[in-house]
Structure 1
Amino acid sequence: MAKRKKELTDKENDLLKAIGAELEKLRKNSGYTNYENFAFEKGINRSQYGKYEAGNVDIQITTLLKILGKFDGMTLQQFFKNIDY
C-alpha cells in the first residue's frame, strides 16, 4: 500500500518558505549568486536544494543540519533566530 503525502497546514507551508528564504540569504551572503553552483560545490543534490530554497518540500531536520554544516559555524539557533513561527 502506497503512503499518502501528508497535507501541510498554511502555517507549516509558511515555515518552509521562511526556511527556504533563510537558506537563500545564507547562500547569497556566502558569495553564491546561483543555488545550483552552491549545491554542486557543496555536494548537495542541486534539484532538491532548489526545492528547499523555494520552500516547496518538507525538509527533514537531519537534512537541514547537513546543509547548515556547509556554512562555517552555523548553528540551528543562529539559523532560526530570524524565523518567526
Structure 2
Amino acid sequence: MAKKGSRTEKIDVWEGEYKKLGNRIKTIRIAQGFTSAEAFSNERGLSRAQYAKYENGKNLQYSNLLYVVEALNVSLMEFFGDDFKDSPKV
C-alpha cells in the first residue's frame, strides 16, 4: 500500500480519475445515441484507436480532453457536472 501523500498514492488516485473521465466520455457518447465508439469516432473525425484510449482513461491530456468534449458537443461544465464534485483535490 502506498504511503499517504506519496507520489505513488497520488498516481493511484489520478488513475481512478482518468478512468472516471473515460467513463464520462463513454456515457455521453451512448446518451447521444452512438452505441459504437467506432461509429462515433468516424462521424466526428477522430482516430478510432485514439478515441478508444480516451474512453479507457488513457492518454488524456487536457488538450485531448478539450477536443473530445468539443466532439461530444457539450460544454466543460456539462461534461464535468455532478460526477466530479466529489473528486479529490490535486
Q: Provide TM-score, normalisation by structure 2.
A: 0.77
Task: Indicate whether 1:77 and 2:62 are aligned.
Answer: no
**Which has a greater percent of helix?**
2
Q: Which has the higher Rg, Structure 1 or Structure 2?
A: 2
Kindly state the Cα deviation for residue 70 of structure 1 after the two structures are TM-superposed: 1.6
- 1:7-58 residue CA offsets vs partner (Å, 9 max, x unmatched): 8711110001000000000100111001011001101010111111011x23
Task: Indicate whether 1:30 and 2:38 are aligned.
Answer: no
Q: Distance in 1 between matches of 2:11 and 2:72?
A: 30
Q: Distance in 1 between matches of 2:60 and 2:72?
A: 17
**Structure 1 segments unaligned to the other structure (5+ residues):** 1-6
Give the secondary structure class of the aligned counterpart of 1:9.
helix
Identity %: 31
**Count of aligned pairs:** 77
2:18 corresponds, among 16, 19, 43, to 16
Task: Indicate whether 1:68 and 2:69 are aligned.
Answer: yes
Kindly state the Cα deviation for residue 64 of structure 1 after the two structures are TM-superposed: 1.0
- Aligned residue identity for 2:75: T
What RMSD, in angstroms, separates the aligned Cα atoms of the two structures? Answer: 1.6
Q: Provide TM-score, normalisation by structure 1.
A: 0.81
Q: Which has the higher contact order (CA 8 A, sep 6+)?
A: 1
Q: Distance in 2 between matches of 1:35 and 1:42?
A: 10
Is the contact between residue 41 and residue 48 of structure 2 (CA under 8 Å) also seen in structure 1? Answer: yes
